[in-house]
């Protein structure tokens, strides 16, 4: 099979879908790997690393899309890449189509065989390609959020603060681990009581759990850092926090909505970039970066590539 690895062009996206080690495994299995020159530089992988692994380096993004049977990338194609999409092309990436209806329409019109990473489930219903990025995003959401509570960055100047996390999945549990480790009192909201019980068994103090929305308004108005971590695979994130709830937060409080790439679970959030990550609304700092793991691209790339490799080997085997 001919796999294509383009360079990510989303603003400040430093990840790449496959490491040279993964490329080498695929080449040894008899596949052709086409890699855009410079694709791995943001993650610390040189063109020479890919050449040594057996990849063919291509000078243009267009070539990768034209010659590959399956394009494997990290983030969804950007508008400038839409022209490269064509009938019969396979596309394997994080697509977040529920939040980007225009892209969904274009993929249908161009008859692209698109497979979103975030919808792949294993036999136990887990999300093996989303999970490693969710864990990284969860940890970073707490670190970034607490950092923005600094007075010099526009926050209220408290540390570590009171933290509320919406969702007890991969993102939420990892955010809890970091926030709790920093000394925060953390409240976790989730409708799944089993997930909440599991968290309670791990943390004996400075943790409260909530499974109904009745008390959320009161909790959020006393929150210093609010982290959105709600996920419904393949669907738009449900709206959990209203505009009024945000208006009732103290000035200098911080919102980090990791669910923003699926539309967000907080009414006042909108997508931002790592170039301009925050905006202020009703006196509350909002962090809406849609590619948080790109803050640590080497770690994120290695985790994603490791998770992807078994699927690509199977696809290639089935193709033959």
Distance, CA of 164 to CA of 185 (rounded, Å): 9
Which one is catalytic: 190, 224, 257, 261? 261
Same domain, 76 and 198: no
Name residue 2's beta-bridge partners. 32
Question: Is residue 126 a part of any domain in this protein?
Answer: no
pLDDT digits (tens, 9 = 90+) for 167-196: 999 999 999 999 999 999 999 999 999 999
Confidence of residue 205 (pLDDT cuts 50, 70, 90): very high
Question: Is residue 14 a part of any domain in this protein?
Answer: yes
Residue 80 structure tokens: 């400038």
Average pLDDT over residues 16-28: 98
Same domain, 229 and 137: yes
Same domain, 281 and 307: no
* Position 318 pLDDT exceeds 80: no
Distance, CA of 42 to CA of 38 (rounded, Å): 8
Range of the domain at 306: 2-119+297-319
Question: Is residue 280 a part of any domain in this protein?
Answer: yes
Question: Is residue 112 a part of any domain in this protein?
Answer: yes
What's the pLDDT at 234?
78
Confidence of residue 22 (pLDDT cuts 50, 70, 90): very high
**Of residues 24, 6, 3, the one with CA closest to residue 15:** 6
What's the pLDDT at 320?
56
Residue 302 structure tokens: 């290695």
Same domain, 138 and 267: yes
Which one is catalytic: 31, 96, 170, 180? 96
Same domain, 33 and 156: no
Catalytic residue status for 96 = yes
Same domain, 281 and 136: yes
CATH of the domain at 12: 3.40.50.720
Same domain, 218 and 285: yes
Question: Is residue 125 a part of any domain in this protein?
Answer: no
pTM to 2 decimals?
A: 0.94
Query: How many domains in the chain?
Result: 2
Same domain, 194 and 149: yes
* Contact of 155 with 177, CB cutoff 8 Å: no
Residue 185 structure tokens: 């009192």
Catalytic residue status for 261 = yes
pLDDT digits (tens, 9 = 90+) for 64-100: 999 999 999 999 999 999 999 999 999 999 999 988 9
């Amino acid at each position: 099979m001919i796999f294509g690895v383009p360079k990510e062009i989303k603003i400040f996206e430093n990840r790449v879908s496959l490491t040279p080690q993964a490329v080498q495994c695929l080449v040894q299995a008899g596949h052709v790997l086409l890699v855009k020159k410079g694709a791995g530089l943001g993650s610390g992988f040189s063109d020479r690393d890919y050449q040594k692994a057996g990849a063919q380096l291509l000078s243009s993004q267009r070539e990768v899309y034209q010659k590959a049977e399956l394009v494997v990338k990290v983030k969804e194609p950007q508008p400038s890449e839409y022209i490269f999409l064509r009938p019969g092309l396979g596309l394997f990436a994080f697509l977040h189509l529920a939040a980007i209806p225009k892209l969904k329409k274009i993929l249908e019109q161009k008859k692209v065989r698109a497979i979103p990473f975030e919808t792949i489930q294993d036999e136990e219903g887990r999300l093996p390609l989303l999970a490693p990025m969710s864990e990284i995003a969860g940890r970073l959401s707490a670190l970034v959020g607490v950092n923005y509570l600094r007075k010099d960055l526009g926050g209220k100047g408290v540390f570590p603060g009171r933290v509320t996390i919406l969702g007890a999945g991969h993102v939420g549990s990892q955010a809890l681990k970091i926030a709790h480790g920093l000394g925060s009192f953390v409240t976790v909201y989730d409708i799944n009581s089993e997930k909440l019980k599991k968290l309670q068994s791990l943390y004996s103090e400075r943790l409260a759990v909530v499974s109904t929305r009745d008390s959320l308004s009161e909790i959020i108005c006393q929150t210093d850092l609010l982290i959105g971590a709600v996920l419904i695979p393949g669907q738009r994130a449900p709206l959990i926090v209203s505009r009024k709830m945000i208006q009732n937060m103290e000035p200098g409080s911080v919102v980090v909505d990791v669910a923003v790439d699926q539309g967000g679970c907080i009414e006042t959030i909108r997508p931002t970039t790592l170039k301009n990550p925050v905006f202020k609304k009703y006196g509350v700092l909002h962090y809406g970066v849609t590619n948080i793991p790109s803050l640590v691209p080497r770690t994120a790339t290695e985790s994603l590539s490791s998770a992807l490799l078994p699927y690509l080997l199977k696809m290639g085997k089935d193709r033959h």
